[in-house]
A and B are shown apart, each in its own frame.
Chain A
């Protein structure tokens, strides 16, 4: 057997003809990779044979298994010379095919605190503040900061406004997007509870089936009973 490291784009004689075909299919998908099921669709080989080829190619380090966030149950394969694209890894926010929620939540709170400290902040201002105070090695791109800040807007922790160039916006060009903390509550507080949401009917999954004389009615309702027995 040839001891030299094989060049990625050549197949040695130790690879069978079927393995070569399977490898070519996987290589053609570049940084997107392919599942075993999809390989079978493209070439007319028996599933067992494809599985055997894949196992052999992995052991020869010609292909590798990667995580695909779109189909976490099926195994996904890629030729060794490629790195998985963001589309299948999910990008910076995914680890091992799953969303890194703890990391995201930590970053969200950090961004909120910077905005709270600055009173009014642009994306650049927030990114700078994080970079200056960041004790860990993590570097956030401007796009990542933007994604986190926009998620804070969706959580109603922060609001997006346009600079008027005066007052608290004096140092910011007119019309530029900036961010302020929303409302009077601290980070993570619940928004004010609405009128409908504060009664059983407002959160009831059966509201559309509830009628005065029906099986589900305000008189017989179990949610009402629990709510009134406080």
Chain B
């Protein structure tokens, strides 16, 4: 979802990291959608060379993707192919989260892995040789240490091969368009239509088999993966391996030299999504339930096909128990306690049971967390009566008349419309009027439209995140100007910055909840 303040926030990030020129090109693409080079030049009034250099920087850092749109003519005449550039909003806003990704790797892996990842995040994409060179010039570490860290990161899927530079995207055929329109008319529920950004990213991505493949001329590196899908070593058949090595030998290139690698943002977001779900469980249930829930996520993470998966892969009770007792905190948990925790976790239904298997309902957990976030805003901004009214309308899911709202929430009939109007004026509610009879005052019916509200709240969050970053920049400037002031004022300034930065972190978690999860 790209909202108005989402764009401002993204452009602010790019400006901070790459300067005004690159940000101007990026903003042009974010506001106007995919464009050719010539169109960007015309729109930004920059020189062709400035636009090209900016695009190179943005592509290097995975913020823009080039693609070719194959526009076959209607009457079967020659296909038109033009290279266009699309801003990857989802990737741009991840840039703020790099410190969170590094912290994650420092907890799960080792210092060398953190340093390697840091290089990839700083430079956007690197070949293995570039990683070796960087390590030598910096930490003075040998190639084998770097390669070991590389393989660890690859096995954990924290890094991946870079996407294709200019994938070809075809427009949907007439038959596909017609089928989509028919299904929409008949009211059948369709999968959410992919945005163009999603289609381009998907078209550019290497196949799943290739994405985490590390092929060298030597014997495969140690496979630390748990299962086949986790293996980063050569899994090609012998003949194919032989062919691949031969062709590289002919071109004189190895993976080290030609294959570009980058951080796999999807995997980091998946980990953060799981972490958020665990925190939600911790707020409602006891420690035993938290351990069981965490074990279920650990056991099924590698089987998740996409980040925004709605349910985890089903597990039997005994599989869950085996996973629970692997961890230190779960070692003393009994089989019966695991079963009891699973019953606990079914109310609210964070875990679903079917045919003696259990799966995590991510969609439910995230929806509940989103509702709580919005309700918290309503409570703080408009008060307790409004909070009750909002929850009533949100839970009922349909239109309710003013007096019904007053009765159910125990608010005076005269005060109720005043509160409802305030919520409606700020786009938290929808209002419909129903006229019965000519002389009678129309009935007022109220409703929460969850999908439009989610977009509205997300935009407010981006606005708040943008404001926080502006204020942090302002406080930093003040600090520089007052560098010679008394110690206690400097301590005060430091406290302000800490408060602002911790608020930024917390708000970013909420943005992920509404946008990335």
Contact = CB atoms under 8 A, between A and B. Distances in A.
Interface of A: 69-70, 72, 90, 93, 98-99, 101, 104, 147, 150-151, 154-156, 159, 161, 164, 166-167, 180, 183-184, 190-199, 201-203, 205, 207-208, 210, 212, 217-219, 221, 224, 227-228, 230
Contact of B410 (A70, A101, A183, A212): A101
Interface stretch (B82-90, B237-245, B307-315, B371-379): B371-379
A221 B464 CA distance: 12
Contacts of A99: 410-412
Given A207-B460, A218-B471, A191 B376 contact: yes
Contacts of A199: 464, 468, 503, 507
Interface of B: 283-284, 340, 343, 346-348, 372-377, 379-381, 384, 387-388, 391-392, 407-414, 426, 457, 460-461, 463-464, 466-468, 470-471, 474, 495-496, 499-500, 503, 506-507, 509-510
A193 B376 contact: yes
Contact of B381 (A72, A191, A202, A212): A202
Across the A-B interface, the 4 shortest Cβ-Cβ residue pairs: A194-B376, A195-B510, A201-B464, A218-B467
A69 B510 contact: no
A196 B461 contact: yes
10 contacts: A69-B414, A70-B414, A99-B412, A183-B284, A196-B460, A199-B507, A201-B468, A202-B460, A203-B381, A230-B495
A207 B426 CA distance: 10
A151 B388 contact: yes
Contact of A210 (B376, B467, B499): B467
A192 B372 contact: yes
B283 A183 contact: yes
Contacts of B466: 212
A212 B409 CA distance: 39
A159 B391 CA distance: 12
A192 B374 CA distance: 12
Nearest to A100: B410
Contacts of A104: 410
A201 B284 contact: no
A186 B394 CA distance: 24
A208 B456 CA distance: 11
Given A167-B340, A202-B380, 11 more contacts: A99-B411, A104-B410, A183-B283, A190-B379, A191-B376, A194-B372, A198-B506, A201-B468, A203-B381, A218-B474, A228-B499
B464 A191 contact: no
A70 B474 CA distance: 52
B372 A151 contact: no
A94 to B, nearest CB: 9
Given A69-B413, A207-B460, A219-B471, A192 B408 contact: no
Given A93-B410, A151-B410, A192-B376, A180 B510 contact: no
A210 B411 CA distance: 32
A196 B412 contact: no
A201 B463 contact: yes
A196 B467 contact: no
A195 B279 CA distance: 14
A218 B468 contact: yes
B408 A191 contact: no
Nearest to A69: B413
Contacts of B509: 195
Given A196-B460, A199-B507, A202-B380, A154 B467 contact: no
A183 B284 CA distance: 5
B347 A196 contact: no
Nearest to A161: B347
Contacts of B460: 196, 201-202, 207
Nearest to A205: B381
Nearest to B465: A201
Nearest to A70: B413
Nearest to A162: B347
A37 to B, nearest CB: 15
A98 B410 CA distance: 11
